[in-house]
Amino acid sequence: MSRYSPSLLTQSDINEAAVDCIKTFDAMGLSAAFVGGEACSLYGVGRKANDLDIFVLTNEYGQEELKRLLVGRNTHFYLVPARTPGATYKSIKVDVLLPGAMDIPLFPSSLIEYISPSTLDVRLLPVAPLKLVMLLKLQAWSQHRAAFESRFREKVPMDHRDLSALFEIAEKRRMKVVPLSANDDYIPSSFMDASKRRVREHLVAHPEVRRHWRRLGYDVDTILPLASPSQSRSPQTNLSRAMSASGRVPKTFDVSGLFEALPAAETKKRTSSSRPSRGLFE
């Protein structure tokens, strides 16, 4: 789903479209909050959102029904096919998400944060809780790494930069991700277990983030113990030692245990709709 005609987008364009979304859902009596890139931007990550991911807090409608209602009530919005790689046009892509989509849990509307973007004078925009936004961004990073299509894998560095910025924002708030507080009972244990596996994956890929996950409450020494000096020797070092001991290159070389095994990539179903669902927060 898109809003406006093709144009060169600015953050102001994105935020104006966000206001249109919220006003339309408000008129329908529905609570909604932004996740994904717009949520990161509103929290202060410092980059322009590429699109809008709006999470509607309801189980009364299906995704396609909500899209049709949004288009029917606001002429700024229209349905379009999935974006074609290499397309030269630009428009504001709006993804309408419901509880369970992308594993996003339904949270109480009382936990929505309201933030005024710098491009708007008065209007406050609703955002999902920072803790959830951060864990969903971690999920996006993990899924993009495992993607077959290069256009998704190319997003991995940006995902990591977003996480790095979210670390600073969370630490300024002295926020803890774990243990869960009484307000976090909406987050299922399966989601937190998956997040813990993704934290380990992130630690393997980026050891420098260890202190950040620790500050957020994760027991990183249990999730991924630091390797001892003997364990951290590279294969080349071990090969050199084997050569010096025997005077020749060994026929076999055991490298078992030298590489961290990453958790199996999670797969997602693709649904048939006017716009196929994609990896999280494309």
Share of the chain above pLDDT 90, in %: 62
* Mean pLDDT to the nearest integer, 139-160: 97
* Model pLDDT for residues 99-112, shown as the tens digit of each residue: 999 999 999 999 99
Q: Is the pLDDT of residue 123 over 80?
A: no
Could you give the dihedral angle defined by the CA atoms of residues 281, 70, 126 and 39, in that order, rounded to the nearest 10 degrees? 20
HSE of 90, CA atoms in CB hemisphere, 13 A: 8
Averaged over 172-188, what is the pLDDT? 94
Give the pLDDT score at 119.
Answer: 62
In what side-by-side order are the strands of the sheet with 92-97? 77-78, 2-3, 92-97, 52-56, 32-35, 125-127, 113-115
Q: What are the domain boundaries of the chain?
A: 1-128, 130-245
- Mean pLDDT over 255-268 rounds to 35
User: Stretch 45-64: mean pLDDT, rounded?
Assistant: 94
Work out the mean pLDDT of the chain and round it to a whole number.
81
What is this structure's pTM? 0.77
Q: Which of 78-92, 159-173, 237-251 has the lowest mean pLDDT?
A: 237-251
Q: What is the pLDDT of residue 266?
A: 40
More confident residue, 3 or 260: 3
Residue 197 has pLDDT above 60, yes or no: yes
Instruction: Give the pLDDT score at 252.
Output: 36
Which candidate, 248, 218, 252, places its Cα nearest to that of 235? 252
Task: Collapse the DSSP code of 249 into the 3-class scheme (helix H, G, I; strand E, B; otherwise coil) and give the result.
Answer: coil
Taking the C-alpha atoms of residue 188 and residue 10, their distance in angstroms, rounded to an integer, is 36
The first and second tokens of residue 109, run together, are: 């509307």
Mean pLDDT, rounded, for 208-235? 83
- How is residue 27 written in tokens? 């008129």
pLDDT at res. 153: 97
Cα separation, 95 vs 75, in Å, equals 17
Interval 256-280 mean pLDDT: 37
1.10.287, 2.60.40, 1.10.1660, 3.30.460: CATH of 1-128: 3.30.460
Q: What is the mean pLDDT of residues 42-51?
A: 91
pLDDT, residue 11, reads 84
- The widest CA-to-CA distance across the chain, in whole angstroms, is 80
> Most confidently modeled of 83-92, 178-187, 242-251?
178-187
**Angle, CA of 9, 10 and 16, to the nearest 5°:** 95
**Res. 57: pLDDT tops 70:** yes
3-class secondary-structure state, position 141: helix
In this prediction, residue 181 carries a pLDDT of 92
Reported confidence tier of residue 80, pLDDT bands at 50, 70, 90: confident
For the chain, what's the residue count? 282
With beta carbons less than 8 A apart as the criterion, state whether 207 and 151 touch. no
